[in-house]
Structure 1
Amino acid sequence: MRRRLAVLAAVPLIFTAAACGTAEPTGSTSATASSGVKVAGNLNAKPTVTFPSGTPAAKSSYEVINAGTGPAIKSGDKLIVNLTVYDWDGKGNAFQGSSYDSKQPETIAVDQQLPKVLQDGFAKVKHGGRLLAVMAADAAPQQQQTQAAQPTKVFVLDVVGGAPVALKSASGEETKESIKGVKVVNPGGEKAPTLTTKTGDKAPKDLVVKTVIKGTGKPVAANQTLDVHYTGKIWGTDKQFDSSWERGQPANFPLSGVIQGWQKGLVGVPVGSRVVMSIPPAMGYGAQEQNGIPANSTLVFVVDVLAAY
């Protein structure tokens, strides 16, 4: 359902540690990694990256460009970062993207799933800090190193801050609101709601959003990133096609990067709320079959809004 700058997920982020340096926490900063890559520019702005001539680095490295002055980062934190990425091939050194351009910072969980070198690197910076990471071929898992070599990746990561602690589930007053033909059962506590969409009723032509539990947090804004739990089914069949509850992990995404029904349906919803949404095909996946969802399907979601930032 989402469209994001997915470089972190698309490449193996395994780096080897290198010597690190620090600079003043505000204003213009610059540093040179052991690879010869130079990073310059103001913090909280898109950096300027300069590459040395010749062959790209054969070894991965990272360097602390700016240590930051905010709270320390610890294991288990969820960081909001601005990320700028290049392919370093020694020729064009193509720019791959920056969250400064998209105006949608990325969220990175500092946990055991993150490569250890990044865990160590983040441990050496604070909120407001900047990291340079160079990922060469040696970073790939051994079983992938016999495959076609990928360009060396260069990352500049600016730690904006920490994401707020998300709720476990919706919390508030039940409203008794519903969509005709759809049933939501609220078991209470942190248990997942039950969504039933098997009905002979005709699907609504327009987007319908009903508040099942009204939270007490701030209303969601269109430019925010959300943590949510949800279950999605197809109108009339009760066929489930997705559920973060079953995965045991809330979803995290910029609201601007998901289907139109979510973008329009969740703006203004208070954090802590549970809503049920009926999304017509034109605001979902339209005439395209999508991961087992038939073309022209009306989608039904029950969504708990756990955090917005």
Structure 2
Amino acid sequence: MRRRSVLLAVPAGLLALAGCGDDDSDKGEKTSPKPESPSAQPTAKMDGPVPALLGGTKFGERPEVARGVGKGPGKLETKTLVAGRGPVAAKGDYIQVNYLGQIWDTGKVFDTTWDKGRNPFVFRVGAGEVVPGWDKGLEGKKVGSRVELAIPPELGYGPQGRPPVIKGTDIMVFVVDVVGVFNSKSSAHGSKVAQDNKDLPKVGDDTDGKAPAITVPKTKAPKKLVSAYVLEGDGREVKETDTVLLQYRGVLWDGGKEFDSTYASKALAKFNLPELVPGFRDGLKGKKIGSRVLLVMPPELAYGKEARDKIPANSTLVFSVDILAVS
């Protein structure tokens, strides 16, 4: 549930890695990639149109990539280093990846999610949230795949580059591991947790991608925030600085009428947790990734005396929230 009714705009064509490191989940733990001298990144025989891997060749391992040979390609080059067998990332899907990026001719690493404290990166394929080379090169890839990309400037940051790290003439080389794919049919898949409090709403625990039923009791609404597992996932706990990818449904305590749903819109929601209303922010913090959570928010932790679209003033809100991924 956002404080504002419109999404913040993301500049088209920017690798929303778009801040090369801004999705760090542990500000105190962050370690910036150290620039590596050309001598520290030896050249090696080219593996087709892309530089060879010198180490970390398995899916999930931080790769070590050789410097490129020659002036580099003038078009996008892709090579599948490890073929995955999971779901395919189609246009419009959210894809979750780990990646390492470096400059073609120097081998200088400029960004990587394999740094301590970093989350995998999540973006929507084909939506212009990343540089065009990523949209083109990762569409159609399967979960479990490791892909290497060589991206010329016109499919990266263009002639302006991204000073001071990436010049307008630089070819970028990425090794990308596809960790997950999510779409409007995605659900949490955790262990069922008993819902035995008769004074709280009951939420369906089906995982077929359809909107779960929410049954609100004919009792007085709780005065404090309720945050309880319906399905408990096995991922790490959500941190207050995370960006979360969610599937959710919201209804009013009074009458049980639906006022918002990603199931109805057929579009997942990606939110920065600190920007959400207090009930959403505090209710999801500390819950495990992969879970379905019941949230009951008293008015003061939602919109209070302010009416919002289908939400009357002074409404207690009830949500079923699937935490699919964090970034």
Q: What TM-score results when the alignment is normalised by the length of structure 1?
A: 0.55
1:279 to 278, 291, 297: 297
2:279 to 256, 261, 267: 261
Which residue number in structure 2 is paired with residue 184 of structure 1? 203
Q: Is residue 220 of structure 1 aligned with residue 222 of structure 2?
A: no
How far has the Cα of 1:300 moved from its partner?
0.3
Mapped to 1, the partners of 2:286 and 2:263 lie a distance apart of 23
Alignment of 1:164-179 (within 5 A): 164-165=179-180, 168-177=186-195
Mapped to 1, the partners of 2:123 and 2:211 lie a distance apart of 25
Pick closer, same or farther for the CA change 1:267–1:164 going to 2, 3 Å.
farther
- Tell me if the contact between 1:78 and 1:162 (Cα under 8 Å) persists in the aligned partners: no
Mapped to 2, the partners of 1:225 and 1:163 lie a distance apart of 18
Q: Is residue 119 of structure 1 aligned with residue 119 of structure 2?
A: no
Unmatched segments (≥5 aa) in structure 2: 15-32, 37-75, 82-88, 98-118, 138-147, 160-171
Mapped to 2, the partners of 1:249 and 1:292 lie a distance apart of 19
Structure 1 runs of 4+ with >6 Å offset: 127-130, 158-163
Number of aligned positions between the proteins: 211
Unmatched segments (≥5 aa) in structure 1: 16-24, 29-66, 81-103, 135-157
How far has the Cα of 1:268 moved from its partner?
1.2
How far has the Cα of 1:281 moved from its partner?
0.7
Mapped to 1, the partners of 2:150 and 2:238 lie a distance apart of 24
- Tell me if the contact between 1:285 and 1:295 (Cα under 8 Å) persists in the aligned partners: yes
- Tell me if the contact between 1:166 and 1:307 (Cα under 8 Å) persists in the aligned partners: no
Q: What per-residue deviation string (whole Å, max 9, x for no partner) do you get for residues 7-33 of structure 1?
A: 33xx8x599xxxxxxxxx9759xxxxx
> What SS does the aligned partner of 1:165 have?
strand
How far has the Cα of 1:114 moved from its partner?
3.7
- Tell me if the contact between 2:95 and 2:181 (Cα under 8 Å) persists in the aligned partners: no
RMSD of Structure 2 on Structure 1 (CA): 4.4
Over the matched positions of the two proteins, sequence identity in percent amounts to 31
Mapped to 1, the partners of 2:176 and 2:277 lie a distance apart of 27
Mapped to 2, the partners of 1:120 and 1:128 lie a distance apart of 6
- Tell me if the contact between 2:96 and 2:179 (Cα under 8 Å) persists in the aligned partners: no
How far has the Cα of 1:174 moved from its partner?
1.0
- Report the AA paired with residue 109 of structure 1: R
Which residue number in structure 2 is paired with residue 2 of structure 1? 2
How far has the Cα of 1:200 moved from its partner?
2.6
Mapped to 1, the partners of 2:96 and 2:151 lie a distance apart of 11
More strand by proportion, 1 or 2?
1
Pick closer, same or farther for the CA change 1:120–1:207 going to 2, 3 Å.
same
- Tell me if the contact between 2:122 and 2:326 (Cα under 8 Å) persists in the aligned partners: no
Pick closer, same or farther for the CA change 1:286–1:128 going to 2, 3 Å.
farther
- Report the AA paired with residue 232 of structure 1: G
Which residue number in structure 2 is paired with residue 292 of structure 1? 310
Which residue number in structure 1 is paired with residue 52 of structure 2? none
Mapped to 2, the partners of 1:161 and 1:228 lie a distance apart of 23
Mapped to 1, the partners of 2:151 and 2:7 lie a distance apart of 21
- Tell me if the contact between 2:223 and 2:298 (Cα under 8 Å) persists in the aligned partners: yes
> What SS does the aligned partner of 2:180 have?
coil
How far has the Cα of 1:162 moved from its partner?
7.7
2:213 to 180, 186, 194: 194
- Report the AA paired with residue 185 of structure 1: G
- Report the AA paired with residue 212 of structure 2: P
- Tell me if the contact between 2:251 and 2:259 (Cα under 8 Å) persists in the aligned partners: yes
- Report the AA paired with residue 2 of structure 2: R
- Report the AA paired with residue 265 of structure 1: G
How far has the Cα of 1:191 moved from its partner?
3.2
Pick closer, same or farther for the CA change 1:278–1:178 going to 2, 3 Å.
farther
Q: What TM-score results when the alignment is normalised by the length of structure 2?
A: 0.52
Pick closer, same or farther for the CA change 1:253–1:162 going to 2, 3 Å.
farther
- Tell me if the contact between 2:233 and 2:291 (Cα under 8 Å) persists in the aligned partners: yes
